Amino acid sequence: MPAGIIARIAERGERAAELLAARFAFEPKLDPQNGKKIKLTWDNHRWVRFRSFLAAFEDVARRFRVTWEDAGRQRPFRSYKELLGRSRNEEPTSYPMKRPTQLQFVRETVNTLVDFVSGWTGDRTFDRGKSSREGRSPRQKQSCA
């Protein structure tokens, strides 16, 4: 590869490193390319992850609650409640909860979670609207494939 091309690639790498360092510094600096205030900061990154987590958690928690409470949806298989309540030697025996305190913790926590999510009615949601301006959480970008 010609030295001129290598030098241009190296220069681009240096500029990218400067931008990353400016963007994720403890106190964000100005964009080294245009001198404007950087918006994609570490705090912004953390906020986006937080919002994404809440939306994903809400989705999973609501689905879990519906499935937990509607044993008919799980037929012909045993419900999760039935699986959790089975005896220690009853199938399935894989991944057992050997300690009674662990099993008790799971039972208490699942019941607490189901009760907690049951209170999420009406406008109680982490994720609202059709766009981020309306309160919607970040979404993964759709692939072109």
Residues 17, 20, 24, 27: is their CA dihedral positive or negative?
positive
Identity of residue 16: A
**Pairwise CA distance, residues 111 & 106, whole Å:** 8
What global pTM score does this model have?
Answer: 0.70
The pLDDT of residue 100 is above 80: yes
**Pairwise CA distance, residues 126 & 135, whole Å:** 8
Q: What does the pLDDT average to over 18-33?
A: 78
The pLDDT of residue 142 is above 70: no
Answer whether 35's CB lies under 8 Å from 19's CB.
no
**Pairwise CA distance, residues 63 & 117, whole Å:** 10
**Per-domain boundaries in the chain:** 1-40, 53-145
